[in-house]
A and B are shown apart, each in its own frame.
Chain A
Amino acid sequence: MSTRLKTGGRLIDRTRQVEFSFNGKRLKGLAGDTLASALLANDQMLMGRSFKYHRPRSVVTSDASEPNALFNLGQEGQFEPNARGTMTELFDGLEAASQNHFPSLEFDVGAINARFARFLPAGFYYKMFIHPRPFWKHIYEPFIRQSAGLGKAPKARDASTYEHFHVHCDLLIVGGGIAGLQAALTAGRAGREVLLFEQTPHWGGRAVVDGAVIDGQPAEAWVTAALQALEAMPNVKLRARTMGAGVYDHGYALGYERLSDHAPGAPGPRHRLWRIRAGHIIAATGAIERPLSFAGNDVPGVVLASALRDYVVNWGVSLGDRTVIVTNNDDAYRTALVLKDAGLEVPAIIDARAAGGGALADEARKRGVRIETGKGINQVKGGKRVTGVSLCAQAGEGAALEEIACDCVAMSGGWSPVVHLWSHCGGKLLWDAEAAMFRPDPARGPTGADGMPFVTTAGAASGPMTTAGVLADATEAAGGGDVPFAEEPAAAPLEPVWMMPQGASYKLRTKAWLDFQNDVKVSDVQLAAREGFESVEHAKRYTTLGMATDQGKLSNINGLAVLANELGTDIPAVGTTTFRPPYTPISMGSIAGEARGEMFQPLRKTPMHDWHAANGAHWEPVGHWRRPYTFLRAGESVEEAVAREVKNTRQALGLLDASTLGKIIVKGPDAGRFLDMMYTNMMSTLKPGRCRYGLMCSENGFLIDDGVVARLGEDTWLCHTTTGGADRIHGHMEEWLQTEWWDWKVYTANVTEQYAQIAVVGPNARKVLEALGGMDVSAEALPFMAWADGTIGGFAVRAYRISFSGELSYEIAVPAGQGRALWDALLEAGEVFGVMPYGTEALHIMRAEKGFIMIGDETDGTVIPQDLGLHWALSKKKDDYLGKRAQARTHMDNPDRWQLVGLETLDGSVLPDGAYAVAEGTNENGQRNMQGRVTSTYHSPTLGRGIAMGLVHKGPERMGETLTFPKVDGTEVSARIVSPVFYDPDGEKQNV
């Protein structure tokens, strides 16, 4: 059984108990435990089930590479799936639940899949579920949905908060082991500005566990001294619990700081995402031990040799009383020595190398440990727990020689440098055959803005696996300097072992796991190779090797070695899959940062926003603005409110908050000439004091914006844009001024937000302005399409006589700070004239009744002014304007286009928005041909029936024809082609 040892555990505090629960069971751990070490201390070896076969799973590692010990943590707003128990610090009240089991962890019906494992080989899903087709939707998918997936998706809203932090530094060092610390010391002493991250709460990495001796003192003491020295350097910043998650172009890197995962409920953000711009990055990310591929290597109790040391040394936890060690290198012998020191039994060390190990092996032998060289494990005995192993010759096919009873197996297949950060942005690897590892190729690092490499690896991440080698490499990586002295027992060389035994039978290979999380076995990769998935990327996707939360940290190298072997090629020829950030999963919350709730998006408010909110505004998002769609009164439906607003505006007086319309000042000696290029109309001839409706096209000829232009003075114009177009059109103007006509003397200024603008609309519009008193707003003084500065009700205003509704209408602009006061004054003075504010829907209906187009409704980026019958707005006198040349292209200058018409349903109903008119015949897909579509459609309260505009093939030539529009519900509606101007076609109402 796994248990807490009487002594040892450098990270735990035996005086402080911590209570937590696992699957509802209350358990006790110690301060300093991880969830994994605490579960082991409670003899809870079984921690979850595998993905495909629901095999019992326990920890294999003690660190970030853990594939098995995944948990659902917490409840409700604190719930998080797929948390690695090895990286979860224990705290009082922690609630953990195992994943991927049904109905319970101990008894899982899905485990029956394992009985059928030979019917569920690689690619099974692809082969099985393709026929018959309807089965997918109705049978296969629902079944797979229920059984697939690891953790549960959170259901409650995340109760935590998150933030970003942008930082620039000269040197970012990732990894707080002795390599990272030595690199930071070296760079810090050289005066460089250093930021050092360590993903765990503890510094020192493996060296402190493995008892390295540095400069004559234990590694632990050296680390403490190094930290003191670094903390004293003002140019060095240290940050624990922060993972270097990813490296991107131009020195951009992400750090993932876990502020309160270990102390939930603490105030402040849970995670902080560091968005770093580093001049240079040192990846001192260490190495990951590889498993060995033998039958039954996934049985709980089989762990990495280094992880077993960690549990004993760091947390005083043993996984079993009798541990068999199986290895192809010297490092695993350290585990034997640690176990012996802890008073635990090591019945045998099985060394696959015929020649056995070096100095560490001699020491183990001296301590009385039996060592079997040239041997391997034929099979692990046991189901939910290791009960023993059977030995075989490594060279053979796996004939059992002997059984050894044990309750734990520690395996070591060698070490792989953690090259992720090196590789994220394009650093290349080379295959080191002697050490049997991919390591960074220093000649082909990821390059930055200057074309020079900007990532360097340091320590084990570069390849060296000895203390002395690590320290020397780290010093060099940071620019060179004094290297601390370290000496180690001489090691015998590692011997690559990709399968154990070397000639393992098919039966054994089907039980030798490569990927513990996704249940990929040696036989699966071999099958993939035989079926033609020869590229490592294809084999990965076919078998799921290296997918899901651990992304193959343990399995990739073993898997591609098996693939290479099966393909009869060598490992570098197969290569690795792509290393993509983040290194381990990071929270979605940290990526969002503060952008949630009211901060999800900026919300733009007009100066009258608060009035709207307090007076029943039913909001419509328009870009980032919120505009009132209509103002709801008690007991009213939205449709009723809109109809009321339209009728009242047509009959009495309406007010519209038009502040969101774009307002751009264009000024300079060449301003007129410039606007003549920007607009299809002639703007240079506009008289000061007058307004003109203008159209803007892109160089492609398509209509992009419209609005009223007012000439303010001899060299100054004010261009109104659509609400959504203000920034875009200002940018469009600046683009042409800066990049094409940079010698033209024109300045622009976007003054959209400087002004509040209120449309005063309806037969009583003039009366209310006259009641407020001030400037002359008579038809003579301020005729249609004129503007004037003056005062109204004591406000300094600019009044425009323009109309988007067809009624008598003024748009009154004041500085935004006075917008609300003017709005209030108009409401008060308008009371006797029947004033009523109206929203965007009433605005849309009234413009549609008049046949005025709306950018974004009648236009969609493929519509030219000619399609909309706007020829009158295209100046014939101008040689050039943006879009003119494009509009002369053959398919543009062509009557055979869909053109704007009005549509009137025969039954008076409202046409569905976006409905298509069908024509004779069908296309090559058997669909009915189309001859037009609805672009705007409303119920007109004024006319008491549905009105619509649409683009119809040669529409204007077909007045009076009836078109058929199929509806979504299968019925059809007929509509007659009519003029798009439904109301007051002669414009008598606006021009009074």
Chain B
Amino acid sequence: MSERVHEGLVTLREMPRRGMITLRGDLGDRTLRRAVEAGVPMPERGRLTVAGARMAAWMSPDELLLMAPHEAILADIATLRTALAGSHHLVEDVSDARCLMRLEGEAVLEVLAKLSPVDFRDFGEGRFRRTLLAQVACAIGMVSPHTVDLIAFRSVTDYVWAVLENANDRAAPVGHF
């Protein structure tokens, strides 16, 4: 699959597959925190953390999404499973279950606000929120100022691309934010 790019209100880019792990467990547990923090700082509720090529995002009170270069993912899974052996947890590879879009530009939130009911007024760097993008589930992470990573399910990649490209129409600025 060739990655698409669309220049409009922002630069919209379909990103190559990124390694992603669903980790469920007791997020307050010291063993779990140590296992996560070996790669990336533990994210607080509603946030994501970045360390080099690795990211961690808060998905729910007992779930994190850990991200890493795809080639590192099998080793990361093995490391986590070893570290968490004996505790109640779940570690699954979900790299192939997701698509990833990156939006860059000053109007990123304005483009997303056309499709998501999120209050973006205080959506700054490091924020991570699961919500809807038009009619499908997605997660929106502000990885750096004016750069948003959007994660959705693989099967709806083309739909996600279509609604984002449509919202990114250069002739449709809102000028609100």
Binding site for B on A (CB under 8 A): 161, 163-168, 193, 237, 266-269, 272, 275, 277, 594-595, 598-599, 601-607, 624-625, 665, 667-669, 745, 747-749, 751-755, 815-817
Interchain CA distance A755-B96 in the complex, whole Å? 7
Residues of B within 8 A of A754 (CB): 92-97
Docked complex: B1-30 residues within 8 A CB-CB of A: 17, 22, 24-25
B119 on the interface (CB 8 Å rule)? yes
Interchain CA distance A237-B88 in the complex, whole Å? 51
B158 on the interface (CB 8 Å rule)? yes
Whether B90 lies near A747 (C-beta < 8 A) is: yes
Whether A816 lies near B118 (C-beta < 8 A) is: no
Whether A168 lies near B97 (C-beta < 8 A) is: no
- Identify the closest chain A residue to B121 (Cβ): A168
Interface size on B, residues (CB 8 A): 43
B79 on the interface (CB 8 Å rule)? no
Query: By CB atoms of chain A within 10 A, which of B25, B90, B171 has the most?
Result: B90
Interchain CA distance A602-B160 in the complex, whole Å? 8
- Having A193-B121, A599-B163, A749-B90, one finds 6 other A-B pairs with CB under 8 Å, namely A275-B117, A594-B134, A602-B135, A749-B24, A751-B97, A754-B96
Q: Which 10 A-B residue pairs are closest in the complex by CB-CB distance? A: A268-B171, A267-B171, A753-B97, A604-B155, A747-B90, A816-B96, A754-B97, A168-B119, A602-B159, A747-B24
Whether B172 lies near A163 (C-beta < 8 A) is: yes
Interchain CA distance A748-B62 in the complex, whole Å? 11
A491 to chain B, nearest CB (A): 41
B51 on the interface (CB 8 Å rule)? no
Whether B62 lies near A166 (C-beta < 8 A) is: no
A620 to chain B, nearest CB (A): 16
Q: Can you offer 12 A-B residue contacts whose CB atoms are under 8 A?
A: A164-B115, A165-B176, A168-B121, A594-B166, A594-B167, A595-B134, A598-B159, A599-B134, A602-B156, A665-B90, A747-B89, A753-B94
A815 to chain B, nearest CB (A): 4
Q: A599-B134, A668-B90 are in contact. Are A268 and B153 (CB under 8 A)?
A: no
Residues of B within 8 A of A275 (CB): 117
Q: A275-B117, A602-B156, A816-B97 are in contact. Are A747 and B88 (CB under 8 A)?
A: yes
Residues of B within 8 A of A815 (CB): 93, 95-96
B154 on the interface (CB 8 Å rule)? yes
Interchain CA distance A382-B163 in the complex, whole Å? 57
**In the complex, per-residue mask of B135-168: 1 if CB is within 8 Å of any chain A CB, else 0:** 1100000000000000001111111001100110
Determine the main DSSP class of A at the interface with B. Answer: mixed
Query: By CB atoms of chain B within 10 A, which of A624, A754, A817 has the most?
Result: A754
A162 to chain B, nearest CB (A): 10
Residues of A within 8 A of B113 (CB): 165-167
Interchain CA distance A506-B104 in the complex, whole Å? 72
Interchain CA distance A777-B107 in the complex, whole Å? 55
B83 on the interface (CB 8 Å rule)? no
Whether A745 lies near B94 (C-beta < 8 A) is: no
B159 to chain A, nearest CB (A): 4
Q: A164-B114, A599-B162, A665-B90 are in contact. Are A277 and B156 (CB under 8 A)?
A: no
Whether B118 lies near A817 (C-beta < 8 A) is: no
Whether A604 lies near B156 (C-beta < 8 A) is: yes
B50 to chain A, nearest CB (A): 24
- Identify the closest chain B residue to A660 (Cβ): B155
Residues of A within 8 A of B89 (CB): 747
B49 on the interface (CB 8 Å rule)? no
Whether A816 lies near B163 (C-beta < 8 A) is: no
Q: Which of A602, A625, A817 is in CB contact (< 8 Å) with B17? A: A817
Whether B171 lies near A166 (C-beta < 8 A) is: no
**In the complex, per-residue mask of B50-88: 1 if CB is within 8 Å of any chain A CB, else 0:** 000000000000100000000000000000000000001
B169 on the interface (CB 8 Å rule)? yes
B89 to chain A, nearest CB (A): 7
- Identify the closest chain A residue to B90 (Cβ): A747
Query: By CB atoms of chain A within 10 A, which of B89, B115, B174 has the most?
Result: B174
Whether A165 lies near B134 (C-beta < 8 A) is: no
Q: Which of A598, A607, A625, A669 is in CB contact (< 8 Å) with B162? A: A598
Residues of A within 8 A of B171 (CB): 266-268
A228 to chain B, nearest CB (A): 18
Q: Which of B98, B156, B158, B172 is in CB contact (< 8 Å) with A269? A: B172
Residues of A within 8 A of B117 (CB): 166, 275, 277
Residues of A within 8 A of B156 (CB): 602-605, 624
Residues of B within 8 A of A625 (CB): 155
Binding site for A on B (CB under 8 A): 17, 22, 24-25, 62, 88-90, 92-98, 113-121, 134-136, 153-159, 162-163, 166-167, 169, 171-172, 174, 176
Whether B24 lies near A163 (C-beta < 8 A) is: no
A313 to chain B, nearest CB (A): 31
Whether B88 lies near A749 (C-beta < 8 A) is: no
Residues of B within 8 A of A603 (CB): 156, 158-159
A989 to chain B, nearest CB (A): 33
Residues of A within 8 A of B24 (CB): 747, 749
B36 to chain A, nearest CB (A): 16
Whether A668 lies near B135 (C-beta < 8 A) is: no
Q: Which of B92, B119, B120 is in CB contact (< 8 Å) with A665? A: B92
A340 to chain B, nearest CB (A): 44
B11 to chain A, nearest CB (A): 19
Whether B172 lies near A268 (C-beta < 8 A) is: yes
Residues of B within 8 A of A751 (CB): 92, 94, 97
Whether B88 lies near A668 (C-beta < 8 A) is: yes
Residues of B within 8 A of A602 (CB): 134-136, 156, 159
Interchain CA distance A266-B157 in the complex, whole Å? 30
Residues of B within 8 A of A749 (CB): 22, 24, 90, 92, 94
Residues of B within 8 A of A745 (CB): 88
Whether B155 lies near A166 (C-beta < 8 A) is: no
Q: Which of B97, B158, B162, B176 is in CB contact (< 8 Å) with A605? A: B158
A619 to chain B, nearest CB (A): 15
Interchain CA distance A669-B87 in the complex, whole Å? 10
Residues of B within 8 A of A752 (CB): 97
- Identify the closest chain B residue to A610 (Cβ): B1
Interchain CA distance A668-B90 in the complex, whole Å? 8
A594 to chain B, nearest CB (A): 5
Interchain CA distance A751-B171 in the complex, whole Å? 39
Whether B154 lies near A816 (C-beta < 8 A) is: yes
A589 to chain B, nearest CB (A): 14
Q: Which of A165, A605, A817 is in CB contact (< 8 Å) with B174? A: A165
- Identify the closest chain B residue to A603 (Cβ): B159
Residues of B within 8 A of A606 (CB): 155
Whether B88 lies near A669 (C-beta < 8 A) is: yes
Whether A277 lies near B135 (C-beta < 8 A) is: no
B177 to chain A, nearest CB (A): 9
Q: A754-B96, A755-B96 are in contact. Are A167 and B159 (CB under 8 A)?
A: no
Residues of A within 8 A of B90 (CB): 665, 667-668, 747-749
A723 to chain B, nearest CB (A): 11
Query: By CB atoms of chain A within 10 A, which of B115, B135, B155 has the most?
Result: B155
Residues of B within 8 A of A607 (CB): 154
- Identify the closest chain A residue to B116 (Cβ): A166
- Identify the closest chain A residue to B137 (Cβ): A727
Residues of A within 8 A of B118 (CB): 166
B96 to chain A, nearest CB (A): 4
Interchain CA distance A667-B63 in the complex, whole Å? 14
- Identify the closest chain A residue to B94 (Cβ): A754
Interchain CA distance A269-B167 in the complex, whole Å? 10
B147 to chain A, nearest CB (A): 21
Q: Which of A166, A267, A277, A817 is in CB contact (< 8 Å) with B114? A: A166
- Identify the closest chain A residue to B155 (Cβ): A604
A207 to chain B, nearest CB (A): 27
- Identify the closest chain A residue to B173 (Cβ): A268
Residues of A within 8 A of B119 (CB): 168, 277
- Identify the closest chain B residue to A605 (Cβ): B155
Residues of A within 8 A of B97 (CB): 751-754, 816
A882 to chain B, nearest CB (A): 22
A602 to chain B, nearest CB (A): 4
Residues of B within 8 A of A665 (CB): 90, 92
